[in-house]
């Protein structure tokens, strides 16, 4: 048990340091290179610098991560892509609401991410270690479906509501891209986030060059992923039949 805790603290701190710093560096692209995921940037932008929103977003995926750890003994990517960056941002934004001085600062995010990573990874590994095998089987049958419903049903609804609240243009883009993402990806959240980003850009700047570039990139992304998942072939086959 002691060895598990020590290793978890070390691994969590190192991984959290790198992931949070990478997430912060993405806000400075293309002037500097970043090592984060595009969806992390979109999801953090969607929280609009609100510490409660960042914390709630990360908390929503903690259930999924805990269910996977207890039921399958595996840590999901949500721990590093969603929980740690958003909780690190929430920790910094609690003291200072200026995102330029907190969430966009790689050094401060790295330190906060290191602390959050050490705590979260230790918590999940300790939980998986102390849960008996019989309970793990029960948890797998109960928590995993519950967490899947949270991600596939509840989270898309929350983001669609956020898009609709942000304005007519943003709402339309959020609903349309969310629907396409659900069909192609199997989850509407990425599309809703992209819709919010594009919609807000159009509302603030009009259909500018940057908005056109974003639309082209998103369209290419949907087309390529659809090809990789065989979506377009299935869609064509459905019409042919």
115 pLDDT above the threshold of 90: yes
| CA 177 to mean position of chain CA atoms | 17
Q: Is the same domain home to 25 and 109?
A: yes
Q: Is the same domain home to 10 and 108?
A: yes
Q: Which domain holds residue 103?
A: 1-131
Who wins on pLDDT, 241 or 168?
A: 168
**Mean pLDDT over each residue of the chain, to the nearest integer:** 83
Q: Is the same domain home to 167 and 223?
A: yes
Quote the pLDDT of residue 136. Answer: 60
The tokens describing 232, both together, are 């377009």
Q: How far apart are CA 219 and CA 221, in angstroms?
A: 5
Looking at the domain assignment, is residue 42 inside a domain? yes
Quote the pLDDT of residue 99. Answer: 84
C-beta separation of 202 from 211 below 8 A: yes
Burial of residue 121 (number of CB atoms within 10 Å: 0-12, 13-18, 19+) = buried
Q: Of the candidates 216, 214, 225, which has an alpha carbon nearest to the alpha carbon of residue 45?
A: 214
Quote the pLDDT of residue 45. Answer: 78
118 pLDDT above the threshold of 90: yes
Confidence of residue 10 (pLDDT cuts 50, 70, 90): very high
Quote the pLDDT of residue 138. Answer: 65
Looking at the domain assignment, is residue 139 inside a domain? no
Quote the pLDDT of residue 176. Answer: 92
Q: What is the pLDDT of residues 15-38, one digit of tens each?
A: 889 888 888 888 877 676 666 666
Over range 165-187, report the average pLDDT.
Answer: 88
Q: Is the same domain home to 1 and 105?
A: yes
Over range 98-119, report the average pLDDT.
Answer: 90
Q: Is the same domain home to 172 and 221?
A: yes
- What percent of the chain has pLDDT above 90? 13
H runs (alpha helix) in 28-105: 38-46, 51-72, 78, 84-93
Quote the pLDDT of residue 226. Answer: 87
Looking at the domain assignment, is residue 198 inside a domain? yes
Looking at the domain assignment, is residue 136 inside a domain? no
Q: Is the same domain home to 121 and 12?
A: yes
Which are the contacts of 60, defined by CB distance < 8 A and separation ≥ 6? 150, 151, 154, 155
Q: How far apart are CA 241 and CA 236, in angstroms?
A: 9
First to last CA, the chain: 58
Q: How far apart are CA 64 and CA 149, in angstroms?
A: 10
Q: What is the pLDDT of residues 73-94, one digit of tens each?
A: 667 788 888 889 999 999 999 8
Who wins on pLDDT, 39 or 237?
A: 237
Quote the pLDDT of residue 208. Answer: 83
120 pLDDT above the threshold of 70: yes
Q: How far apart are CA 165 and CA 200, in angstroms?
A: 11
Q: Is the same domain home to 170 and 115?
A: no
C-beta separation of 67 from 144 below 8 A: yes
The tokens describing 100, both together, are 């330029």
Q: Of the candidates 103, 108, 117, 112, which has an alpha carbon nearest to the alpha carbon of residue 26?
A: 103
Q: Is the same domain home to 70 and 12?
A: yes
Q: Is the same domain home to 72 and 163?
A: no
Q: Is the same domain home to 11 and 75?
A: yes
Over range 114-134, report the average pLDDT.
Answer: 82
Quote the pLDDT of residue 241. Answer: 63
C-alpha radius of gyration, the chain, whole number: 19
> How many domains does the chain fold into?
2
């Amino acid at each position: 048990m002691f060895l598990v805790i020590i290793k978890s603290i070390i691994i969590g701190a190192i991984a959290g340091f790198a992931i949070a710093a990478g997430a912060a560096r993405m806000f400075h692209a293309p002037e500097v290179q970043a090592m984060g995921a595009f969806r992390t940037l979109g999801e953090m932008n969607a929280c609009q610098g609100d510490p409660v929103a960042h914390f709630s977003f990360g908390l929503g995926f903690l259930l999924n991560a805990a269910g996977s750890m207890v039921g399958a003994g595996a840590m999901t990517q949500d721990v590093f892509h969603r929980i740690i960056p958003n909780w690190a941002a929430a920790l910094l934004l609690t003291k200072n609401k200026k995102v330029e001085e907190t969430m966009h600062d790689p050094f401060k995010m790295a330190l906060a991410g290191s602390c959050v990573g050490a705590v979260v990874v230790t918590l999940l590994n300790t939980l998986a270690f102390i849960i008996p095998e019989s309970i793990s089987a029960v948890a797998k049958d109960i928590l995993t479906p519950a967490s899947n419903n949270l991600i596939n049903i509840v989270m898309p609804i929350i983001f669609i509501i956020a898009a609709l609240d942000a304005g007519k243009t943003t709402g339309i883009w959020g609903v349309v891209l969310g629907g396409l993402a659900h069909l192609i990806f199997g989850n509407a959240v990425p599309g809703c986030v992209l819709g919010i980003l594009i919609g807000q850009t159009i509302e603030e700047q009009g259909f500018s060059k940057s908005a056109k570039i974003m639309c082209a990139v998103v369209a290419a992304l949907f087309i390529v992923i659809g090809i990789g998942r065989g979506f377009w072939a299935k869609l064509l086959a459905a019409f042919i039949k």
